[in-house]
Amino acid sequence: MQNILLKVNGVSYPVDVTPYDTLARVLREKLGFTEVKIGCENGECGSCTVLVDGKAIVSCLMLAAKADGSEITTSRGLVKDGKLHVLQEKFIEHDAIQCGYCTPGMLMSAKALLDMKPHPTEEEIRRAISGNICRCTGYQQIVEAIAAAAAEIESSP
Amino acid sequence: MYPHLDVFRPTDYLKPSNIREAVELLARYGNSAFPIAGGTDLLVEKDPKIKVLIDLTDLGLNYIQSSSEGMAIGAATTMSEIGASPALRVGPYLMLAEATQEIGTPQIRNMATLGGNICRPSPAADTAPPLLALEAFVKIAGPNGYRDLEIEQFFKGVNQDALQPGEIVTEIRISNLPKRTGTAFIKKGRVAAGDLSIVSVAVCVSLDHGNLCSKVRIALGAVAPTPLRAREAESLLVGKVPQRNLLTQVAQKVSEEIRPISDLRASAEYRRTLSRVLVERALNEALSRIV
């Protein structure tokens, strides 16, 4: 066991981890961030996607010890002052959620995209979520929701 | 009998702060030690033999430096960083930047490193063909100091590289190429994202002032036990004008020179045909990029 420090959604958490604990397991099971979904646990499905120091990564393939000292954002961290992020609102409006299991990961890949490219093309949106699998296959609505969020961010003052 | 009971349970996670320390730790723990850069293969393979993890994050190996001699890329530079680097999105380096964007998924590209891609020497490692075609050098640190190796000498067999116990790759270096040089990389997997290559092709062609091919390098992935150069095909083009029918012959030669296998992704026959098509396409693309 070693003690590491993870800053999750702006709050610092000291936590004891083993050398083989993944960031996904630690976030879910030791810190209670259950919005981080574990799907394949093999880096393929993207449901465990979180931002580490602003970059989208799959937390099932990152050891918690490697993330020591990092700033992590989960989909819960998108909510500010009790208000949903525009991406979350647009996902709801566009019915971009069916079973919902891929949604937290989709949101984080979309957030990483908009942080880097505020005006993405449809092609860029599709590439940005190419590491997130939706088994309900609701990709069209997800792409539309992300495009709508980008448009709203652009038009807001 | 119950291989799943023999689980991945490393006992130590060490984070050396410099290269010398990292090399000492790797040498000390031998086969039970495993270096982590991006770590993306580590947690897929979960090798139960691994007891000591050695995190290479703090070694200062994350950089892209251009100099009068060429380009040096730190082994811990991620695929995303290479793909987005303005210094690597120009000239002959472009195909390397493009190849990094064909690997895995966006999340994997934010984690996986250039050093890691060649040190998990899969025949299908997608940065290998561009590095072969650019005749890159691999800088290796070990218990006896540093050594340099041509990238072609680095790949020894399926999942085997030239690293000795205690050694790590610290840098990939690419020397300047003639001004009139064009490169191209093409990968085909079964689907567009997150899949291993069925075939990947990298070509690098230089023209002299008479428009004859002065340098030709053709490299392929996933068609032999290691990523490889198609030297017989290259030699057909050297000293010649790159006319269309000659490019077709060169591509045909490549398909004869490779040693593909049949696996779950494609048959050997399909790989030969695809290699021929992709090599011709890549040669045309590379030539069209020469200004």
| Segment B201-230, tens digit of pLDDT | 999 999 999 999 999 999 999 999 999 999
In a shared domain, residues B37 and B130: no
Crossing angle for the helix pair A139-155 and A86-93, nearest 10 degrees? 130
Instruction: Indicate yes or no: CB of A61 within 8 angstroms of CB of B44.
Output: yes
Instruction: Indicate yes or no: CB of B107 within 8 angstroms of CB of A19.
Output: no
In a shared domain, residues B185 and B222: yes
pLDDT at A154: 81
pLDDT at B2: 58
pLDDT digits (tens, 9 = 90+) for B58-112: 999 999 999 999 999 999 999 999 999 999 999 999 999 999 999 999 999 999 9
Would you call B4 an interface residue with chain A, using a CB distance cutoff of 8 Å? no
In a shared domain, residues B163 and B248: no
**Cβ atoms B135, B217 nearer than 8 A:** yes
Q: How far is A56 from chain B (nearest CA, A)?
A: 5
Q: What is the mean pLDDT of chain B?
A: 94
Judged against a pLDDT cut of 90, whether residue B158 lies above it is answered with: no
Q: Report the percent of chain B where pLDDT is more than 90.
A: 89
Question: Would B4 be classed as within a structural domain?
Answer: no
Instruction: Indicate yes or no: CB of A61 within 8 angstroms of CB of B80.
Output: no
Would you call A106 an interface residue with chain B, using a CB distance cutoff of 8 Å? no
Q: Which residues of A touch B42 (CB under 8 A)?
A: 61, 63
pLDDT at B27: 95
CATH code for the domain of A124: 1.10.150.120
pLDDT digits (tens, 9 = 90+) for B122-155: 888 999 999 999 999 999 999 999 999 999 999 9
Judged against a pLDDT cut of 90, whether residue B260 lies above it is answered with: yes
Judged against a pLDDT cut of 80, whether residue A143 lies above it is answered with: yes
Question: Would B3 be classed as within a structural domain?
Answer: no
With cut-offs at 50, 70 and 90, classify the pLDDT of residue B193: confident
Judged against a pLDDT cut of 80, whether residue B3 lies above it is answered with: no
Judged against a pLDDT cut of 70, whether residue A157 lies above it is answered with: no
**Cβ atoms B217, B203 nearer than 8 A:** yes
In a shared domain, residues B118 and B169: yes
**Cβ atoms B100, B81 nearer than 8 A:** no
| Range(s) of the domain holding residue B245 | 181-288
In a shared domain, residues B232 and B162: no
Average pLDDT of the residues in A68-90:
97
In a shared domain, residues A26 and A74: yes
In a shared domain, residues B143 and B235: no
- For A65, the 3-state DSSP assignment is helix
Q: How far is A141 from chain B (nearest CA, A)?
A: 20
Average pLDDT of the residues in B271-291:
96
Q: How crowded is residue A50: how many other Cβ atoms within 10 Å of its Cβ? A: 30
CA atoms of B203 and B205, how far apart (whole Å): 7
Query: What is the interface pTM, i.e. ipTM, of the complex?
Result: 0.96
Listing DSSP states for A13-60 in one string gives EEEEE-TT-BHHHIIIIIT--TTS--SSSSSSS-TTEEEETTEEEETT
Distances (CA, A) of B225 to B99, B121, B250: 20, 10, 22
| Range(s) of the domain holding residue A7 | 2-78
pLDDT at A14: 98
**Cβ atoms A45, A133 nearer than 8 A:** yes
**Cβ atoms B224, B249 nearer than 8 A:** no
pLDDT at B4: 59
Torsion, Cα A8 A9 A10 A14, to 10 degrees, reads -20
In a shared domain, residues B72 and B165: yes
CATH code for the domain of B263: 3.30.390.50
Judged against a pLDDT cut of 60, whether residue B243 lies above it is answered with: yes
pLDDT digits (tens, 9 = 90+) for A10-28: 999 999 999 999 999 999 9
Judged against a pLDDT cut of 70, whether residue A149 lies above it is answered with: yes
Greatest mean pLDDT among A102-106, B45-49, B157-161 lies in A102-106
In a shared domain, residues A65 and A96: no
Distances (CA, A) of A64 to A5, A7, A115, B149, B211: 10, 12, 24, 34, 55
Judged against a pLDDT cut of 60, whether residue B1 lies above it is answered with: no
Q: Which residues of A touch B194 (CB under 8 A)?
A: 44, 130-131
Which residues is A136 bridged to in the sheet?
Answer: none
Domain total of chain A? 2
Judged against a pLDDT cut of 70, whether residue B10 lies above it is answered with: yes
Q: How far is B191 from chain A (nearest CA, A)?
A: 11
Judged against a pLDDT cut of 90, whether residue B242 lies above it is answered with: yes
In a shared domain, residues B69 and B50: no
Would you call B9 an interface residue with chain A, using a CB distance cutoff of 8 Å? yes
